[in-house]
Amino acid sequence: MEKTIKPNKLFVASCLALLVTSLSFGIRAGTMNNLMVQFHLDAKQMGLIAGTAFWGFPLAIIIGGVIVDIVGMKRLLLLAFFLHLVGIIFTVFSTGFFSLYISTLFIGIANGTVEAACNPLVTSIYPNNKTTKLNHFHFWFPAGIVIGTLVSFGFAKVDLNWQWQVATMLIPTVIYGYMFFKLDFPVTERVSSGVSTKEMYKASLLNPLFLFLLICMLGTAITELFTNQWVGVLLQNVTSSAILILALVAAVQALARSVAGPVVHKVSPSGVLLMSAIISAIGIYMLGTTSGGMLFVAAIIFGIGVAYFWPTMLGFVSENIPKSGAFGINLLGGAGMFAVSIYMFFMGGYYDNLISAVLPSGANIDTYRSAAAGTPEAATYAHAQLVSGPQVILATNMIPLVLVFAFLGLFIYMRARKKKVVEVSMAEASPNF
């Protein structure tokens, strides 16, 4: 039976799948403090749980990138649906560290499987507009964070517990699962263009430009995702609206990605990455050094800075190293998420140490964290957070500062390469006498 490919419906279903991914991110960020108090978890343990979603993601996206050409994008996305469904239900009924860890791992693997299939799906159905459509697709990551954080904030205001917040993710999960089950899928772009598996691995693993971008992806992912995931905890006692800062950052990201086409075409992908690194560094510095209303200004600047990092990195590889195929863009995404998981673990411990240094000598962190509002212990812990949170943010700012120099080098290299291509084309077009 002949397949009928419906690009627009496939794109809508892909966006819904990514929406579930981002809802898990936003709702988890909004419920971290509640989980730490209810289950008596320290920041290192919470970092392990949150980090599980990030190392589960690369595990799935890299394996998915290897097998997507073999098993097909549809099978991967139906697997993602099943894992999302199980992970969400398990999270709702979690009873402590271990059950939260396992359920978050399920969701992380589902999230990575979505990216493993949807990134090559988008480039396959829109081969002539890859970077722009990837930005439009990834619009739904920050958009979902906005929705997730507002759900978390709103449910908390009406005293609905975190289980209800997590359960809301079941709605888009069921819808995208049904849509993908009914739709036909194309083959990946690498398969349709006849590029061999050997050529794909060579273009990825033996290409200096790709390896450079892979290293840069570690920094861009940490800059965006660690800061977003932890801002609600780190700035909890700097502002009474810490979770709304995350929502504002995500809203700015979503708006920026919705107009990605003109920006990318006017500035060039390498230029966009350079500007993103500069603006991100300014935004993170302001998040770590300001308070009150200026934090919202900082959030807007940071949101603009990180808006184009992820989709532009993927689009850059797809357009400039096309033979790397699905494996290349998925390896890039997986490496970024793995870096975030490792960074979260170490920075969770660093944050605990900063808190301990402010608390009385020999104090038990959990006793102070779980203290009733209005008690001396609660006030002492709030002061410790006020001092420690911004220090973690400022320590992270070293990463985008390094990226500024890395992307400046990339920008210069790409301009020189483009100039060389133009000169060669003009020479070939000139008549020979």
Q: How far apart are CA 319 and CA 201, in angstroms?
A: 16
Q: How far apart are CA 112 and CA 109, in angstroms?
A: 5
pLDDT at 240: 61
- The CA-atom distances, in angstroms, between 135 and each of 83, 141, 342 are 25, 10, 26
pLDDT at 424: 59
Let me know: does 246 contact 148? Beta carbons within 8 Å.
Answer: no
Fold of 7-418: Growth Hormone; Chain: A; (1.20.1250)
pLDDT tens by residue, 158-210? 777 888 888 999 999 999 999 999 998 887 766 666 677 777 777 777 889 99
* pTM of the entire predicted model: 0.75
pLDDT at 232: 65
pLDDT tens by residue, 208-220? 999 999 999 999 9
State which residues of the chain have pLDDT below 50: 433
pLDDT at 11: 94
Domain edges within the chain: 7-418
Q: Which of 186, 187, 127, 128 is nearest to 4 (CA)?
A: 186
